[in-house]
């Protein structure tokens, strides 16, 4: 099976954080990122223009044993590419965590695991297409 269109790079990282306000302060006020989207009080998505950093609050008992790295994401230019990558990776026996689906922010993605068990998201995120 032929590899689908290339990704536009690894431009997304999701971090599980114990102190969301402190992490947001670091990445926004100190590192210069801006808030792209705040879907709820326990998550914020940041950008510096051509990337996406998700901060997810892991508090209380949920923070015990939670890895800091939630997942990494490879961006694509079209929703069709998401479906093609899903078929391609599944054909090559990659462990799939989800099927492709649309998200509340209009993105389309799926999750799989790399050989070491790192969660990888393959995503088309409309605000960053062509950047």
Instruction: Indicate whether 76 pLDDT > 60.
Output: yes
- Give the percent of the chain with pLDDT over 70: 92
Is the domain spanning 9-128 CATH 3.10.180.10? The answer is yes
**Element containing residue 21 per DSSP (H, E):** helix 20-25
Least confident of 31-40, 68-77, 108-117, 122-131: 122-131
pLDDT of 108:
96
End-to-end, the C-alpha distance of the chain in Å comes to: 29
What's the average model confidence in pLDDT over 19-25? Answer: 92
Residue 48's CB is within 10 A of a number of other CB atoms, namely 14
What is the distance between the alpha carbons of residues 8 and 85, in angstroms, rounded to a whole number? 13
State the average pLDDT for the chain: 89
Is this model's pTM higher than 0.85 or not? Answer: no
């Amino acid at each position: 099976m032929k590899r689908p269109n290339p990704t536009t790079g690894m431009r997304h990282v999701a971090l599980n954080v114990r102190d969301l306000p402190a992490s947001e302060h670091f990445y926004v006020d100190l590192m210069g990122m801006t808030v792209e989207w705040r879907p709820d009080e326990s998550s914020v998505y940041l950008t510096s223009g051509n990337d996406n950093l998700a901060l997810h609050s892991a508090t209380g008992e949920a923070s015990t044993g939670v890895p800091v790295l939630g997942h990494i994401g490879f961006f694509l230019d079209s929703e069709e590419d998401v479906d093609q990558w899903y078929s391609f990776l599944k054909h090559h026996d990659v462990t799939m965590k989800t099927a492709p689906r649309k998200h509340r922010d209009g993105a389309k993605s799926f999750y799989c695991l790399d050989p070491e068990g790192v969660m990888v998201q393959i995503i088309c995120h409309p605000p960053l297409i062509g950047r």
